[in-house]
Structures are given as structure tokens and as C-alpha cells.
Structure 1
Amino acid sequence: MQIQVNTDRHIPGDDTLTDSIREELQHALKRFDEHVTRIEVHLSDQNGENRGGADDIRCLIEARIEGHQPNVVTHDAASVKQAFTGATDKIKRVLSTTIERMKSH
């Protein structure tokens, strides 16, 4: 499973952040390994650097299953960690449902 991490110009996308996200996703989505070919993570600050605000960090996770349309989830939170954790929980539920449906057909 390939994992690509993208950030906007307001969130520093250094190697520490990227490696941490990759590790956590590989662990969290391990049971979907044989189905998921690619994961893309997009982190963005919805308000920009000059304006604060509650829940202004967005994490979008796109998971691609071979032969199917991508599954996409988003989660908004006050920090990168919270946004990523929320989006990870959502994509796990979506993938679980999608793969169960694939198996039942």
C-alpha cells in the first residue's frame, strides 16, 4: 500500500510529520492491506496562518481499492493530530463497510 502525504503552505510537511502519519496509517489500516492500493492524506489549514479558529485544520484521506472508485473522508479539528485521528477512524469504518460489501457480492 502506497501512502502519500500532502500539506498546504500553512502546515509544515516535514519528514517527522510525514513519517509519523505513514506509520500510524500502516498500523491502523493493516487489515485492509490486500485490498487498498494507495492512500493519500491531505492536511490543510482552512483559515490560513493569520486567522485562528476552532476546528480549522482539515485532514482528507483518500483510499483507493483496486477496481473501485476512491473512498474519501474528511475531518476538521483544532490540531493536525486531532484531524488526522478523526479522519483515520472514519476511513477505517468506510473501508470496513466497502470491503464487506465486496465480499458479499
Structure 2
Amino acid sequence: MQIQINTANNIDGREALVAAVEADVRAGLSRFGDRLTRIELHIGDESGGPSGGGDTRCMIEARPQGQDPMTVTDHAATPDLAVSGALRKMTTALDRVFGKQDDKRGH
């Protein structure tokens, strides 16, 4: 599973954030690792201020093998909260999709 993290220029501590987010994504989505080819995150401060502290958005796009990409978005006060909220939403969506596939196959 390939992970790509994109941050806006107005996010403080981008390098440390990227390392922490990648670890969170690997841990949070590890059980789907063999079924996903790529995970892409976009993190940005929608208020546009250089100091942050505004409306932070995290969008996650997951690409399951042989299927259309899935996207979720979460807004929060900090990048960490936005990422964890988006990871929760993506986990729920992937559980639903893969659960339906497994059920159809009789597993």
C-alpha cells in the first residue's frame, strides 16, 4: 500500500505532521493493506491564515484493487483531529465495502 500525503503551505510543522500522519494511516488501515493499492491524503487549512488554528480539512482517497477510488473528508480545529476523523470515516467505508464483497463470496 503506497501512501502519499499532501499538505498546504500554511500548515505549521509540515515535516513532523507528515511523519505522524503516515504512521497513523499505516496503523489505522493496515488490515486493508493487501486490498488497497494507494492512499492519498490532502491536509489544508481552509481559513487560509498562516498561523493555522482555523478550519482544517483532511481528505483521504483510497484506491481498492480493481475498484473505483473512495473519498472521505473531515473538518476539525487541528490537523491531527481532522486526520483521525477522516481515518475513522474511511475505516467505516472500507469495512462496509469489503464486508459486502466478502458476504457475497460466502466468507
TM value normalised by structure 2: 0.88
Segments of structure 1 that go 5 or more residues without pairing to the other structure are none
Tell whether 2:41 aligns with 1:41.
Answer: yes
Secondary structure of 2:10's match? coil
Taking only the aligned residue pairs, the percentage that are identical comes to 38
Distance 2:21 2:101 in 1: 27
Larger helix percent? 2
Q: Which runs of 4+ in 1 moved over 2 A?
A: 12-15, 50-54
Question: Could you say if the C-alpha distance between residues 80 and 53 of structure 1 is closer, same or farther in structure 2, counting changes exceeding 3 Å?
Answer: closer
- Matched residues, number: 104
Q: How far does residue 97 in structure 1 lie from its aligned partner after superposition? A: 0.6
Secondary structure of 2:34's match? coil
Q: How far does residue 104 in structure 1 lie from its aligned partner after superposition? A: 2.7
1:18-69 C-alpha deviation (Å, 9 max, x unpaired): 1111111111111101101100010011110168775x10000000001111
Distance 1:78 1:101 in 2: 34
Instruction: Report the counterpart of residue 19 of structure 1 in structure 2.
Output: 19
Q: How far does residue 13 in structure 1 lie from its aligned partner after superposition? A: 6.3
